[in-house]
Chains A and B, each alone.
Chain A
Amino acid sequence: MTDITNFLIAAVLAACPLLLGTLGETLTEKSGNLNLGVEGMMFMGGIAGIAGSFYYERSVAEPVAWISVAIALVCAFLCAAFGAFIYSVITITLRANQNVTGLALTIFGAGFGNFFGEYIGNSTGGYVAVSQITKSGFNDPLFPNLAKIPVIGKLMFSYNFMIYLGIAIAIFMWYFLAYTRKGLNLRAVGEQHGAADAAGINVALYKYIATCVGGGITGLGGLYIVMNSSNGVGGVWVHGCIGGYGWLSVALVIFATWHPARAILCALAFGALSVMRFYFPTSFIPISIYEIFPYLATVIVLVTVSLRKRRANQPPASLGLAYFREER
């Protein structure tokens, strides 16, 4: 029983960066922008967040956990949103190909993260790592008292605040897209940008905001990887630490069929797949083959989604297309 409880908890913890990445990309794609730069934006968010906390801790004598956490969150969000902003300028205003621009953002972002991770480490003698104060700010359970309830408490309330933040963003985004005027407008932009423009919606503005906010949210996912997981240590910059989570997120958007609430379950399933090998080791599957599972599952998901083309499960109709008002 405890084994399964521990497994589920580990799955939730591993799912968080995937959830944040998926949510950010969902919002982006709802505006008709297919931003393949999630991996790069996660790198940017991750390094900016940890650098923010790192410099804050060095500049004050007695660092306060919540200030450090807040600084990390804001830096991560803004830096990743900046990456998304570059993408927006090139694809929305300058109408370049979205696929290639996203790939360029991944190359740039990964270089950006690794470059500054190493540079800041070198210039301060050592590597970029935050103190225990910030680390516990990120990793301590949000509801320590409720977590004491047997089994249920552990399963529901033993997590750090990032998990609840991710779930809150998912629910809010679902509400926003399904039940608000602005959400409806955004979906209209992604489905039929020409019609949306004719209806008086500022297409470019919606695309810009959705892409930048979405990028910022994926950046929080990058921050989570750096602060919470990162090879089981946390709170330290590891070269190339994002390691494909951004790309898995892009695939999860398809798996979740562009639905923010469904993204929670999909991310959880993938989180479970990625930690399964620690809890159910087998003698007949070598570890490195076990590690293939999440990627293999992604392939299977891609194929299944493409096989059953249900109308409700389709991507936004204008996904990947630049909007040319003059050619309408």
Chain B
Amino acid sequence: MSVSKGSAKKTPLIRIAKRADISKLHAWFIRIAAILLALASGGLLILALGHNPFAVYRDMISGAISTKTATIATAKIAIPLLGAALSLAPAFKMKFWNIGTEGQILAGAIAASYFALFHYQNFSRPVLLFIMFCASIVAGGLWGLIPAIFKAKWGTNETLFTLMLNYIILKIVTYLRTGPWKNPSSSGFPKIAMFDASARLPNVFGVNIGWIIVLGIVAFMYIYMRYSQQGYEIAVVGESEHTARYVGMSVGKIIVRTILLSGAIAGMVGFLIVSGSSYTLTDNTAGGYGFTAITVAWLSKLNPFAMIIISVFLAVLKKGSNTIQTNFKIPASASDVLTGIILFFMLGCEFFINYRLIFRGSNKAVEVQND
């Protein structure tokens, strides 16, 4: 199996063989080791900048969860992040590289804002919130549908298509903010007005009700991906489009349907952000959640329950990076650097889960050569 070019003369120092199987425990052990190594590398960077890494990490965590206000702020980051990551789960499972979450969030936010800004007088609070909720789902879904249709029909590159749509809708928000939706009573920097109280989501335990909705989606997504026929079809298309075609699945239909769902969830996240925490629409409404969600989705191996842990973890990093900016004058972008390093290690460690290294002279090497 792994006989390399030079093996007739000399066994190479290290050879690679595929692992037959690996216990779940062993696999998670490798992954946790990778995260620890990533944190250690980040620690080295902090050390190189002349700070004590332990103190920095400690302040990062305490800054994110030590007080009630801090915990609520962290939760406000974690909720949309988890929602956005959930929206990516079916898309990534299908190997449809949707990086347009950012734009789908904005599409949903625009639709929700439209009703919040211009029709709040016409409805009672529950009805208004429900309409905003539905509008955001439809808008997000439709914004995701555009690249999906082109991908399904002509195989247009979805990574770049979805990405370009992010920039396009961002400019549309700028246009709305500076033009037709500009708050006439705001002076100076053009802004969109704050929502009326009836367009704001109620709080449950100090945090907007969005967390209950998102946790509901966690359960839904787990069942959908694991036990539904559609979830199965997504998995097959992701593994091999040829197989899916061969067994008679309509690949195009599956792609369109899945991305519609993906966009709809992302759109709803936009609703949660404008109606649950910012109470207005800005250029920064999507705020990088769509991109960080890619990290969450990948680190959790697309498992919805693991996504809860990872999104809380990254929310702590993000909130904590503000604390270390104040305490140590370390720029808050440190959280992005750290996230990148963690991702690198997690991506790299998969190799050691799937393969094992055989060193020259070990007994195992002889075994493999004989078979």
Contact = CB atoms under 8 A, between A and B. Distances in A.
B114 interface: no
Given A95-B351, A100-B347, A118 B333 contact: yes
B291 A107 contact: yes
A39 B97 CA distance: 17
A254 B157 CA distance: 9
B1 A326 contact: yes
A22 B23 CA distance: 44
Interface in A296-328: 296, 298-299, 302-303, 306-307, 325-326
The DSSP consensus for interface residues of chain A is: helix
Nearest to A197: B5
A302 B157 contact: yes
Contact of A36 (B159, B168, B336): B159
Contact of B171 (A89, A247, A292): A292
Given A119-B49, A295-B164, A296-B168, A108 B341 contact: yes
Interface string B1-39: 110100000000000111000000000000000000000
A194 interface: no
Interface string A103-137: 11111111110110011001000000000000000
Contacts of B156: 302-303, 306
Contacts of A36: 159
Contact of B175 (A93, A109, A288): A288
B331 A119 contact: yes
Contacts of B16: 326
B348 A96 contact: yes
Contact of B160 (A86, A96, A114, A298): A298
Contacts of B344: 86, 90, 101, 104, 108
B340 A112 contact: yes
Contact of B159 (A86, A99, A107): A99
Interface string B357-368: 000000000000
A112 B164 contact: no
B339 to A, nearest CB: 6
A304 B295 CA distance: 31
A299 B175 contact: no
A29 B156 CA distance: 18
B329 interface: yes
B298 to A, nearest CB: 5
Contact of A89 (B49, B168, B337, B348): B348
Contacts, number: 141
B160 A254 contact: yes
A144 interface: no
The interface centre, meaning the residue of B298, B340, B341, B354 with most chain A CB atoms within 10 A of its CB, is B340
A80 to B, nearest CB: 15
A286 interface: yes
Nearest to B295: A107
A22 to B, nearest CB: 13
Interface string A74-100: 000000000000100110011111011
A300 B320 CA distance: 42
B171 A291 contact: yes
B347 A104 contact: yes
Given A104-B295, A119-B331, A288 B174 contact: yes
A111 B294 contact: no
Contact of B157 (A97, A110, A244, A306): A306
A111 to B, nearest CB: 3
Given A288-B171, A303-B154, A326-B16, A105 B340 contact: yes
A4 interface: no
B347 A90 contact: yes
Contacts of B341: 108
Interface string B310-339: 000000000000000000011101111111
B50 to A, nearest CB: 9
A238 B356 CA distance: 45
Given A36-B159, A94-B348, A303-B150, A103 B175 contact: no
A289 interface: yes
10 shortest interchain CB distances as A-B pairs:
A108-B340, A111-B336, A118-B331, A104-B343, A94-B351, A115-B333, A114-B333, A111-B337, A288-B175, A306-B156
22 contacts: A89-B348, A90-B348, A96-B351, A99-B159, A100-B294, A100-B343, A100-B347, A103-B99, A104-B344, A107-B336, A110-B336, A111-B333, A112-B337, A114-B333, A114-B336, A247-B164, A288-B171, A288-B175, A295-B167, A296-B164, A298-B164, A306-B154
Interface of B: 1-2, 4, 16-18, 49, 97, 99, 150, 154-157, 159-161, 163-165, 167-168, 171-172, 174-175, 178-179, 291-292, 294-295, 298, 329-331, 333-341, 343-344, 347-348, 350-351, 354
